[in-house]
Amino acid sequence: MSLQKIRQMVQQGEGEMIEFKRKVAHPEKIIREIVAFANTSGGNLLIGVDDNGTIPGIKFAEEEMYVLEKAIEKWCRPHIAYKAEIVPVTGSKFVVSYHIPESDRKPHYIIEEGTVAVMTGKNLKQRSGKKWGQAYVRFEDKSLQASREMWQILRRKRKEKDIKFNFGEKEKMLMQYLDQHTSVTVRQFAEAARLPIRNASQTLVLLVLANVLKVIPREKEDIYILKFS
């Protein structure tokens, strides 16, 4: 990749498929962006670019790459494919470009260190270990923690094809609600249809998988809209 191409990408600004980082100061946070790109539509992570669009570059590009790639290897599951390039900015400064394609192995997630319970004989003991962490998805210029519904959608989209559903009373009520409000959340649907949250969640997930609805991730609560309207 050329410096000219980097500048063209920077001019677009951060968005669903572009993220800037000044340097690899906190790799545990940067890998969220990588996971989010892999779980969504892919994207480009540029190390050595400020949020304001300037390109100061970094001096020790290979060291920064080593730190980030060790974090990816250690904490990201399943393995994420990516392509990394070092692009000279000046004689001593560089930008590191990571291209992360949309994955066919999603959902990807970040494992976390924590305390796990282990049964030893008749005694329950605590010991340090790794536990399942969080998946992330990309929306606009943010990497958001995937909701329970989004996790299911990512997982089932990869495994299941030609999803079918029965258009029953609750689906009819959902369509009536969307005629009036254009979007709905799990909680709103549960209240409108007088359903348990679990049933409302399952119905919305199924309709996304059947290409009837589109899910839009949000920080607090995902929203659902008709895919074709």
Q: What is the pLDDT of residues 28-60, one digit of tens each?
A: 889 999 999 999 999 999 999 999 999 999 999
**pLDDT of res. 178:** 96
Spatial strand order of the sheet with 18-21 comes to 18-21, 43-47, 94-100, 83-88
Kindly list the structural domains of the chain, giving each domain's residue range(s) and its CATH number in brackets, ordered by start.
3-100 (3.30.950.30), 147-226 (1.10.10.10)
Please give, one letter per residue, the 3-state secondary structure of 5-33: HHHHHHHHCCECCEEEECCCCCHHHHHHH
ω into 101 cis (within 30 of 0): no
| CB-based contact 144:137 (threshold 8 Å) | yes
Q: What are phi and psi of 104, to 5 degrees?
A: -100, 15
Is 206 in contact with 199 (CB distance < 8 Å)? no
Question: For 73-85, how does the pLDDT look when each residue is reduced to its tens digit (9 = 90+)?
Answer: 999 999 999 999 9
Residue 193's pLDDT band (cuts 50, 70, 90): very high
Is residue 68 pLDDT above 80, yes or no? yes
Q: What is the pLDDT of residue 157?
A: 85
Block residue for tokens 């969307």: 178
Whole-prediction pTM: 0.86
* The predicted structure's pLDDT at residue 45: 98
Compute how many other C-beta atoms are within 10 angstroms of the C-beta atom of residue 111: 14
pLDDT for residue 121: 44
Give the whole-number percent of the chain exceeding pLDDT 90. 79
Find how far residue 163's CA is from the centre of its chain: 23
Q: Is the pLDDT of residue 105 over 90?
A: yes
Distance CA 226, CA 11 (A): 33
pLDDT of residue 125: 46
Q: What are phi and psi of 66, to 5 degrees?
A: -60, -45
Neighbouring residues of 201: CB distance < 8 A, sequence distance ≥ 6: 148, 149, 186
**pLDDT for 114-170, tens place per residue?**
544 443 444 444 455 555 689 999 999 999 999 999 999 999 988 777 777 778 999
